[in-house]
A and B are shown apart, each in its own frame.
Chain A
């Protein structure tokens, strides 16, 4: 496999994990613009615990889960104030959360402040790939459970879910916290791929992109974040390849303008995302109506 392909797959895997991190709360109706915040917490926690020079030098089998769980704990605590807000206010609250995290880490000398922090344990795809597969399977599993059903019910109608006995607050806190764990996981894994982390990697643009590919993928099914992350990772590369081959300016210098047009087009044509329930039904429709029971 060429280094270019490996590089793309690494980015794809990280994008998929962070996509599920934002998707799970989104499936329960929460719009999270704080992906960067969780990524920063996970990345720095893991880097500090695992780095041999400036950190504690612990093995990554320990530090990656620890960083993910720590991020989950922060997410759990943050969910109480954040979940008091809804819709666009929730976007603002999560955005503010990410900015606060970035501000705090930038001023922490113990992790290098603005100059970043080196990660000494390098891994190749042998860690990232299985973890990504695991995250995708976990996403599908969680959505298929009654807990997942509660999440999707809250997305559609919170007050009716409540009347049917769903502990809506608990489910919302749960979805947000699990999302935070996955965000921390993505951050921790990032460091071991690129050997160096700095807060500037995860600005507001990063959070916007993650939320965008979750929404473009679709929040109704666990296929959404998978397809959305692939879409966002591959389309710019495909545009680049087309540009190199044809020399058309639209695909070379104006690559990102073309990408922007595609995104706007997607929002117009498929406002509920690429992977909707009805689209899946169309794809996988079974021939016998008796067995046509689909739950996920």
Chain B
């Protein structure tokens, strides 16, 4: 469903993404991995429209979306989470989740309905339901900046999910989570995947990747160096070299 064709991006003279092409199949769970600075988050920023693509194209469901502005990408079914938590710190949990519903409720009538005064409205109920399903039902009214890191991390995933995305981009969703939180996150993502949402995940935790994803794309220095199943990836010499360093010409 998602296709990147020869995508390139430079900052100043530095080519951060160099001729990267890969596809994400509909309904699949694909991981994007690579050492620090490989360009994973840059790819996400290109996909979500924060950066403009210099060369190449991106298409979603065979429609070219390269030029679609960032604000409209949620309307075509793309939503994302962030490597560093980007929840709205002064909003409550449920308000953050309601922000995720924004593009579904973007009419004049919905925009001026007093959500906060008439609390039994459908959006609040939907948001609360999603939080309960994610095992976060006990925190709806709390200001998110007061909540533990692991909870905030999952609220971000819920916020992205309630926009009903076709493609969910997750930037290191398991980073900083303990093992039980990671397990709960995995359940949450598997549930989303089972309802047809396609997942593209940037992640360092290889166990998490192996458990969740069927397909892995490996980047290094802005280039795609390998693509395959998680088992193939961990045996590939190029990937091992990228992560552990090679024997020869790396010394110079």
**Which residues of chain A have a CB within 8 Å of any CB of chain B?**
140-141, 143-150, 152-153, 155-157, 159-168, 220, 277-278, 281, 289, 292-296
Q: Is A166 touching B102 in the complex (CB atoms < 8 A)?
A: yes
Nearest CB on A from B132, distance (A): 11
Verify B111–A147 contact, CB threshold 8 A: yes
| A150–B95 CA distance with the chains assembled, in angstroms | 10
Which chain B residues lie closer than 8 Å to A152 at the CB level?
A: 88, 90-91, 95
**In-complex Cβ contact of A145 among B74, B103, B114, B146 (8 A):** B114
- Give per-residue flags for B46-60: 1 if the beta carbon is below 8 A from chain A beta carbons, else 0: 001110000000000
B80 on the A face (CB < 8 A): yes
Bound Cα distance A211, B93 (Å): 29
Interface contact B115-A163, CB-CB below 8 Å: no
Contact of B115 among A164, A166, A295 (CB under 8 A): A295
The interface residues of chain B lying within 8 Å CB-to-CB of A167 are 71, 106
Interface pair B119/A295, CB less than 8 Å apart: yes
Bound Cα distance from A269 to B106, whole angstroms:
39
Chain B residues with Cβ under 8 A from A150's Cβ? 99, 102, 111
A143 closest partner in B (C-beta): B116
A292 CA to B90 CA in the complex, in Å? 17
* B residues in contact with A140, CB < 8 Å: 117
Q: Which 6 A-B pairs have the closest CB atoms?
A: A144-B116, A295-B116, A165-B103, A296-B116, A156-B88, A292-B141
* Given contact pairs A150-B99, A162-B71, A168-B71, a sample of 7 additional A-B residue pairs in the complex whose CB atoms are under 8 Å apart: A145-B115, A146-B98, A146-B115, A153-B88, A163-B73, A165-B75, A296-B117
Taking a contact as CB atoms under 8 Å apart, the answer to whether B98 and A160 are in contact is no
Q: Is the CB of B117 within 8 A of A156?
A: no
Q: Are A292 and B114 touching (Cβ within 8 A)?
A: no
Residue pair B117, A144 in contact (C-beta under 8 Å): yes
Q: A161-B99, A164-B99, A165-B106 are in contact. Are A148 and B89 (CB under 8 A)?
A: no
Question: For the side of the interface on B, what is the size category?
Answer: 35 or more
- How many A-B contacts at CB < 8 Å in the complex? 119
Q: In the complex, what residues of B have CB within 8 A of residue A155's CB?
A: 90
* Contact residues in A for B230 (Cβ distance below 8 Å): none
Asked whether, in the complex, the Cβ of B90 is within 8 Å of the Cβ of A141, the reply is no
A292-B140 in contact (CB<8A): yes
- A153 with B74: CB separation less than 8 A: no
User: Which residues of chain A have C-beta atoms less than 8 A from B98's C-beta?
Assistant: 146, 149
Q: Which residues of chain B have C-beta atoms less than 8 A from A293's C-beta?
A: 92, 94, 119, 124, 128, 140-141
B70 within 8 A of A: yes
B residues whose Cβ falls under 8 Å from a Cβ of A: 48-50, 70-75, 79-80, 82, 86, 88-92, 94-95, 98-100, 102-103, 105-106, 110-117, 119, 123-124, 128, 138, 140-143, 146, 159, 163
Q: Is the CB of A145 within 8 A of B111?
A: yes
Q: A163-B48, A165-B75, A295-B124 are in contact. Are A156 and B94 (CB under 8 A)?
A: no
Residue of A nearest to B103 (CB): A165
Cβ A144 vs Cβ B70 within 8 A: no
Nearest CB in chain B: distance from A275 CB, A: 12
Expressed in whole angstroms, the minimum distance between the Cβ of A2 and any Cβ of chain B is 36
A149-B99 contact in complex given A157-B88, A162-B70, A164-B74, C-beta closer than 8 Å:
yes
Q: Which residues of A contact B49 (CB under 8 A)?
A: 163
Residues of B within 8 A of A160 (CB): 82, 86, 88
Q: Which residue of B lies closest to A140 (CB)?
A: B117
- Cα distance, A119 to B115, chains bound together (Å): 41
The chain A residue with its CB closest to the CB of B80 is A163
A-B contact pairs, 11 of them (CB 8 A): A141-B117, A144-B117, A146-B102, A146-B111, A147-B112, A150-B111, A164-B99, A165-B74, A166-B99, A281-B143, A293-B141
- Whole-angstrom distance from the CB of A269 to the nearest CB of chain B? 19
